[in-house]
Amino acid sequence: MYLIAIAWAYVALMMAAAEATSPQGSLLGAAITLLLYGILPLGLLLYILGTPGRRRRQRAAALTAEADAGSHPPAGPAQGLAPEREEA
């Protein structure tokens, strides 16, 4: 997964460098090229390809919380602190 992302980032960076150093190019054009051809597609790709890992971690956390649920006393007010007063 990361090999594709690194290769795409390299290509997008080279495109932006070519745009910046071209006689007809500009730094604004290079920035837009880097953003639209590099950063946004890479962010989307990494988000989509990372979905199974996020789901796996979420399920593992849920199972851990489920297994842990009976071993701790219920959460109550903190020890040594006075309860909060409500104003009428």
| pLDDT reported for residue 33 | 95
Taking each helix axis from N to C end, the angle separating 40-49 and 51-68, rounded to the nearest 10 degrees, works out to: 40
Percent of the chain surpassing pLDDT 70: 81
Taking only the tens place, the pLDDT of each residue in 7-34 is 999 999 999 999 999 999 999 999 999 9
| pLDDT reported for residue 71 | 61
Helix H segments across 1-88? 2-21, 27-34, 40-49, 51-68
Residue 69 has pLDDT above 70, yes or no: no
Q: How far apart are CA 18 and CA 20, in angstroms?
A: 5
Q: How confident is the model at residue 87 (pLDDT cuts 50, 70, 90)?
A: confident
